[in-house]
A and B are shown apart, each in its own frame.
Chain A
Amino acid sequence: MNWVLFAQQLVNGLSLGAIYAVIALGYTMVYGIIELINFAHGDVYTAGSFVALATLTLLGASRHMAAAGLVFALIVTFLVAMLVMGGTGVVIERFAYRPLRGRPRLAPLLTAIGVSFSLENLLQLWMGPSPVPFPQLIPNPFFALGPVSVSQMQLFVIFSSVVMMVALHFFVVHTKLGKAMRATAQDWMAAEIMGIDINKTIALTFFIGSLLAGAAGVITGLFYGNIWFINGFRAGLIAFTAAVLGGIGNTTGAALGGFVIGFIEVMTAQYVGFQWAEVTIFSVLILVLIFRPTGLLGQQLPERT
């Protein structure tokens, strides 16, 4: 076995997994609080890439800008994409999911699929049915870590993802709003009696989850150099697998699951064949759900039909 190659793939898996992890956070937060698989989440992530591209085009950002201007453009792009997607998440929750709360499970699930298809179609209408090139703004030199090479972009992806995860963790654990979210997820009725505004808390959850998805969308565009309207379907499915693998409802688990799925994907591509990566990931999802439905870190959730 070629250990250098293995170590190199480990690094690649880390950067791929970081993006999955950030998307998975949104799935797991929403599922934790209203027990809904938000199928539209993957498309919100892709929409983030599209909004970022539009913003960069509007700002006229290019590689030849001065470094300060470039950093400014990137910060503005991140802010715009995150806020727009956060707002989109809130709107989706308000108009598609909230009226269906308390209905039989099938209704909100089908609604989520409907929202997902609408978003995909809108993105396709916006920028066309083929992949769209995304400007490569960040210079991408490679650093040698012994025999393994790491690109600056990979470091950027991992660093920004970890920053978001830490920020989310801090928010959920140490702020009052975070406490309200945890309380609502645990027992909404008791939370309401304690004076927590349930609707606001759920909207906030959607806002933060979609905000993270928007950021992941920007990172994806910068990292891969092209974006495609259909990306969200596959990425969403894989990120959901990551959330389930980590234990749905558990944010630490979602991050862990994202990295594990990233490793599984690159290792399958390396040692079996890239065309089998998806099959392997979904097989992992099925096996996890059958043998350990609570995931790696999940606690026992009440069973629901």
Chain B
Amino acid sequence: MRILRRLTPYRTPVIILVLFLCFPLIDHNAGHVNAAADAAVFVLLALGLNIVVGFAGLLDLGYAAFFAIGSYTYALAASPFYGLHLPFWPMLLVAAIVAGVFGALLGAPTLRLRGDYLAIVTLGFGEIVPTVFLNLPKYTGGTNGVVGIDKPTVFGYQFGFNPTPYYYTLIVIIVLSVIGILRLRDSRLGRAWLAVREDEIAAASMGIDLTATKLLAFSFGAFFSGFGGALYVAKLGIVSPDQFNFTVSFTILAMVVLGGMGNVFGVIAGAAILYEFQTLFLNDLTQWSHSLGQSLGIRVLTTINFVDLKFLLYGLGLVLLMLLRPEGLFPERRIRAIVTETVAAEVPVVGTAAVADSHGADTTPPGAA
């Protein structure tokens, strides 16, 4: 009973979770389960990026770098490349920790930067990391990457190439991550992130250590990409530098923005929607339009391929989203509530954040409505 009562505020996510757990039992199409498992990897990545962008308000355009580091950590530790065959489960955690450490290492030099300089430096990092993997074939396999990565086992059960066990593992890790992230968000550190996001100067003057707060945001954000990376390459069995180019960082960012920056469940929805949109829906749409074009005799419809239009649709979608609904599909109502609720009662840090909306009137650029 107590557990039930504690779950009550989360009943919608719990129902959705149960539906997702039943999904492979109902849909026996291995392709669909596979797409769902890949989408789950991107859910983990979006959850991690949400800590950096959504909670702490630091625009990270090179998040794929950490995904790459987590992926390579497991790939190199459990493949014939070095002849190391370390077990999957401890390495899953190690990959996440290594990614987290690199998050702090790469985050450290950028902390003095503000706003869009930070964006451009992280973009640079996002380019540097895969290039380094590409340029050191002796240590990372270069262009060919690493092949024959070990598949996980549980008590003698081989995961193999069947997507279903990966799917369930990912669901378990996502659930644990969401619980962890929600606890983190409500902790002292999480509230500090929100305060930094709302107004950095006010947060600093309230005694928040900006350096440590931002560094931890980078580090925790990267940590979750390590989980995603290790599971992703274990499932795929191969890793190469071209899996981590800028389009990956951009896609994850688009997921976070679409879902609603800062809202954990929104971000999950954003990632799932966008991933299924690009892998399944665009294919289906192309086929529908082809058959529609044939029956109506319209040539354009029979030749159009919506998969090729993916980034045009993403780009225009992002522009329209920013113009019409910048808070995303599922804006973070709860955090807003926390911020306003605790103005009088709790820490002054959070109180400063509430006035952020009125702040900036004197710096509003020209032509603003």
Interface residues of A (CB under 8 A from B): 34-37, 96, 98-103, 105-111, 113-122, 124-125, 184, 188-189, 192, 198-199, 202, 233, 237, 240-241, 244, 273, 275-276, 278-279, 282-283, 285-286, 289-290, 293, 303-305
Determine whether the beta carbon of A290 is less than 8 Å from that of B112: yes
Assembly CA distance A283 to B124 (angstroms)? 8
In the complex, the number of residue pairs spanning A and B with C-beta atoms less than 8 Å apart equals 153
B84-126: CB near A (< 8 Å → 1, else 0) gives: 0000000000000000000000000110111111011101110
Assembly CA distance A122 to B308 (angstroms)? 10
The residues of B that contact A237 with a CB separation of less than 8 Å are 120, 123-124, 127
Determine whether the beta carbon of B119 is less than 8 Å from that of A109: yes
The residues of A that contact B128 with a CB separation of less than 8 Å are 278-279, 282-283
Query: Given the interface contacts A114-B315, A279-B132, does A289 sit within 8 Å of B117 by beta carbon?
Result: yes
Q: Please tell me the size bucket of the interface on B.
A: 35 or more
Determine whether the beta carbon of B368 is less than 8 Å from that of A117: no
Is B309's CB within 8 Å of the partner chain A? Answer: yes
The residues of A that contact B113 with a CB separation of less than 8 Å are 289-290, 293
Closest partner residue, chain A, to B247 (CB atom): A117
Assembly CA distance A275 to B253 (angstroms)? 28
Determine whether the beta carbon of B116 is less than 8 Å from that of A117: no
Is B200's CB within 8 Å of the partner chain A? Answer: yes
Smallest CB separation, A105 vs chain B (Å): 5
The 8 Å CB contact of A118, one of B112, B114, B120, B316, is B316
The residues of A that contact B314 with a CB separation of less than 8 Å are 114, 117
Q: Main SS of the interface on chain B? A: helix
Assembly CA distance A304 to B116 (angstroms)? 9
Assembly CA distance A119 to B314 (angstroms)? 11
Assembly CA distance A290 to B106 (angstroms)? 12
Closest partner residue, chain A, to B310 (CB atom): A121
Assembly CA distance A40 to B323 (angstroms)? 17
Determine whether the beta carbon of A117 is less than 8 Å from that of B315: yes
Determine whether the beta carbon of A102 is less than 8 Å from that of B323: no
Smallest CB separation, A112 vs chain B (Å): 9
Assembly CA distance A111 to B59 (angstroms)? 13
Q: List 30 A-B contacts (CB under 8 A).
A: A35-B116, A96-B323, A101-B366, A101-B367, A101-B368, A102-B368, A109-B119, A110-B318, A113-B315, A114-B318, A117-B250, A117-B311, A117-B314, A118-B315, A120-B315, A121-B308, A124-B308, A198-B366, A237-B124, A244-B117, A244-B120, A282-B125, A282-B128, A283-B124, A286-B121, A290-B110, A293-B112, A293-B117, A304-B115, A305-B200
Is B135's CB within 8 Å of the partner chain A? Answer: yes
The residues of A that contact B110 with a CB separation of less than 8 Å are 286, 289-290
Closest partner residue, chain A, to B115 (CB atom): A105
Query: Given the interface contacts A122-B312, A125-B309, does A100 sit within 8 Å of B323 by beta carbon?
Result: yes
Determine whether the beta carbon of B367 is less than 8 Å from that of A118: no
The 8 Å CB contact of A37, one of B116, B127, B135, B322, is B116
Assembly CA distance A290 to B315 (angstroms)? 31
Most buried by B among A109, A198, A303: A109
Smallest CB separation, B202 vs chain A (Å): 11
Q: Which of B206-224 contact A (CB under 8 A)?
A: none
Most buried by B among A37, A106, A278: A106
